[in-house]
Structure 1
Amino acid sequence: MTTCGLTLGKFAPLHRGHQCLIETALAEMDEVIVMVYDCPETTDVPLSVRANWVRQLYPTVKVIEAWDGPTEIGDTPAIKQAHETYVLRQLQGQRVTHFYSREFYGEHMSVALGAVNRLVDWTPQSTWEIRTAVPISATQIRASPYEHRQFLHPLVYRDLITHVVFLGAPSTGKTTLAEVLAQCHNTRWMPEYGREYWETHQVERRLSLEQLEAIAVGHLEREESHLAQANRYLFTDTNALTTYRFSLYYHGTATPYLTELANRCSARYDLVFLCETDIPYDDTWDRSGAGNRDVFQKQIVSDLLVRRIPFFRVSGDLQRRIRQAEKVLAQFQKYHNLLDSVPIAHD
């Protein structure tokens, strides 16, 4: 007989305990179904993001997105029946032989499914709140993701970090602002990889098309590494959009992959700050002059507008820029609509 295991939950966020559950089912079953509940009252992370964690980590699992599932949790007959009815309806008659859980509801749900109650990370002597193999709960992680990040896959943890990028022409204070804000928030910042690469590989102050692509790729790889270690925020100095503009400036074109990486920037960062040119130009040997700074700044602004990427301008001295950025950070909520905080005038 073909076996089919089912597990369900909010996975808010998906953690090592959930992974232990899913991996146990994968090892024992012919087929595994994971049902992910919508739960805006519990987490801001959208259901689609949480469901995609499961899909990306476990491609063979069938994922069901439960957008309209019951939200009440408890041990009353009415709540139990609501969940049982909903799950059976979502399965659309598919036979489940084993129900996997680390929770009290494993008993009644397995009965409703006519399935084996397969408890994972459970001992008869313990209550349902106690886990031994993976001693963590999603509630604990939501309260302090950074302190418990060892219980989160990097793919999951990165989606809990607010990724902030600073753009602007050369010598507009991006590096200084990113570094200072990282210190203020006890987190990581990502230096501009392009400058480091340029200093090592440039020939007569130029790089090839392929080398500019390599900058964008290397920068992204380092971003991912920093995201896995960041604390709430990652402050990044420039991105592939900047590298793309340099490629157009020097070569009049860009490689297809660099162009693709630049396009991805539209959805990669949570907040974009544009550092203005109202500070003195630092005319170092690796820069091409204040005049070019003004032109490059116009091109960056145009690129952001054409791509419809929202951005916040920061200007003035360092302390003023810090205050401006901190005001935005204080109001920003990841996975919320930026415009929700803007009052709408009514007639």
Structure 2
Amino acid sequence: MIEAWDGPTEVGDTFEIKKKHEEYIVKKLESKRITHFYCSEFYGEHVSQALGAVNRLVDSARKTFSISGTKVRQDPYTFRNYLCPDVYRDLITNVVFLGAPSTGKTTIASQLAKEYKTVWMPEYGREYWEKHQINRRLSLSQLVEIAKGHLEREETLLLQANQYLFTDTNALTTYQFSLYYHKTVAPELAKLAHQAISRYDLVFLCDTDTPYDNTWDRSGEANRKIFQKQIKSELIIRKIPFFSLDGELNTRIDFVKQILARYQKYQNLLDSFSF
């Protein structure tokens, strides 16, 4: 697989267009020896000649596989089975929701996944904590296991997602819990938290202006407010762009949907939005 971010975008069979493509491919391959060139398109002949390779025309009538690169580009999510998993994963917009406990992250992520007909990533830390906590505490190494386990599941879901993956928390949350309970962070967890800076396409911080659900696994509304300030501070210090979500549930969901409607992956986020 060759990445061609700066490749020519014109298509056609004119001399000028073919020359641009040939020169780009030859330069991209540098001194690599190509013996055979396989494709189902007209350009197989002239590209093969440019490479000094044997032209192998395959299923040009699309009888064996009724698919083409054009179809895949138009709807890569429908035709995901024709894409390399690494390529498909990179097409998914990973949306993460952060915030203190009881700020609506789970509800928002699951609801959006339902509306967009995709999957969502539940907070693995909650599941792990319920199984392994002793006196409501976890060790430093267990917190590392949470961050790693969350990422493993997230990676699996990225390949199952349809355009978006809605993720409930990430390693930054686990990082903050480690500081809260142990006043320190294991080096491996610190590394995973740092990787979170560039891992997610869109980050939403859920505000605390919602009723506090005081379940047995939470540490009180006062701690919720402190934890919220710490998470927001962490985002600012690490220079992670984020959107704030406040108001009632439907207001928050509608705001996220507005952002998604305007967001195009690989474009400058700050240039794309103005509010």
TM-score by length of 2: 0.92
In structure 2, what is the equivalent of residue 73 of structure 1?
11
Deviation at 1:172, TM superposition (A): 0.7
Note the alpha carbon deviations across 1:151-190, whole angstroms, 9 max, x for none.
2232221111111010000111111111111111111111
User: Greater helix share, 1 or 2?
Assistant: 2
Work out the CA distance in 2 between the residues paired with 1:142 and 1:99: 25
Work out the CA distance in 2 between the residues paired with 1:111 and 1:263: 47
Note the alpha carbon deviations across 1:235-274, whole angstroms, 9 max, x for none.
1111100001000111111111111110000111011000
Q: What is the Cα-based RMSD across aligned positions, in Å? A: 2.1
- 2:115 alignment partner AA: C
Q: 2:101 aligns with which of 170, 173, 178?
A: 170
> CA 1:229 to 1:204, structure 2 compared with 1: closer, same or farther past 3 Å?
same
Work out the CA distance in 2 between the residues paired with 1:217 and 1:98: 43
> CA 1:341 to 1:154, structure 2 compared with 1: closer, same or farther past 3 Å?
same
Matches within 5 A, 1:252-291: 252-291=183-222
Tell me if structure 2 keeps the 8 A contact 1:272–1:310: yes
Tell me if structure 2 keeps the 8 A contact 1:209–1:251: yes
In structure 2, what is the equivalent of residue 57 of structure 1?
none
Deviation at 1:35, TM superposition (A): 5.2
Deviation at 1:70, TM superposition (A): 4.0
Task: Say which SS state the counterpart of residue 76 (structure 2) adopts.
Answer: coil
In structure 2, what is the equivalent of residue 217 of structure 1?
148
Work out the CA distance in 1 between the residues paired with 2:23 and 2:259: 44
> CA 1:305 to 1:85, structure 2 compared with 1: closer, same or farther past 3 Å?
closer
- 1:107 alignment partner AA: E
1:179 equivalent in alignment to 2:116: no
Work out the CA distance in 1 between the residues paired with 2:144 and 2:32: 50
> CA 1:304 to 1:206, structure 2 compared with 1: closer, same or farther past 3 Å?
same
Work out the CA distance in 2 between the residues paired with 1:202 and 1:155: 36
Identity of aligned residues (%): 60
More deviation, 149-158/307-316: 149-158
- 2:272 alignment partner AA: S
Tell me if structure 2 keeps the 8 A contact 1:99–1:106: no
In structure 2, what is the equivalent of residue 190 of structure 1?
121
1:297 equivalent in alignment to 2:228: yes
Which segments of 5 or more consecutive residues in structure 1 lack a partner in the other structure? 1-33, 38-46, 48-66
Work out the CA distance in 1 between the residues paired with 2:137 and 2:158: 30
Q: 2:170 aligns with which of 221, 239, 243?
A: 239
In structure 1, what is the equivalent of residue 37 of structure 2?
100
Higher relative contact order (CA 8 A, sep 6+): 2
Deviation at 1:135, TM superposition (A): 4.2
Tell me if structure 2 keeps the 8 A contact 1:216–1:261: yes
Work out the CA distance in 1 between the residues paired with 2:249 and 2:15: 60
> CA 1:262 to 1:99, structure 2 compared with 1: closer, same or farther past 3 Å?
same
Matches within 5 A, 1:20-31: none
Task: Say which SS state the counterpart of residue 264 (structure 2) adopts.
Answer: coil
Tell me if structure 1 keeps the 8 A contact 2:37–2:53: no
Work out the CA distance in 1 between the residues paired with 2:204 and 2:34: 52
In structure 1, what is the equivalent of residue 80 of structure 2?
149
Work out the CA distance in 2 between the residues paired with 1:230 and 1:200: 27
Task: Say which SS state the counterpart of residue 159 (structure 1) adopts.
Answer: helix
> CA 1:322 to 1:97, structure 2 compared with 1: closer, same or farther past 3 Å?
closer
Tell me if structure 2 keeps the 8 A contact 1:158–1:227: yes
Q: 2:47 aligns with which of 106, 109, 116?
A: 109
Work out the CA distance in 1 between the residues paired with 2:228 and 2:198: 21
Q: 1:138 aligns with which of 58, 63, 69?
A: 69
Work out the CA distance in 2 between the residues paired with 1:234 and 1:95: 38
Work out the CA distance in 2 between the residues paired with 1:268 and 1:277: 25
Work out the CA distance in 2 between the residues paired with 1:219 and 1:208: 17
Deviation at 1:290, TM superposition (A): 0.6
In structure 2, what is the equivalent of residue 28 of structure 1?
none
- 1:150 alignment partner AA: N
Which segments of 5 or more consecutive residues in structure 2 lack a partner in the other structure? none
- 1:329 alignment partner AA: L
**Aligned pairs, number:** 274
Work out the CA distance in 1 between the residues paired with 2:52 and 2:135: 74
Work out the CA distance in 2 between the residues paired with 1:98 and 1:131: 26
Tell me if structure 1 keeps the 8 A contact 2:96–2:204: yes
Work out the CA distance in 2 between the residues paired with 1:314 and 1:104: 51
- 1:264 alignment partner AA: Q
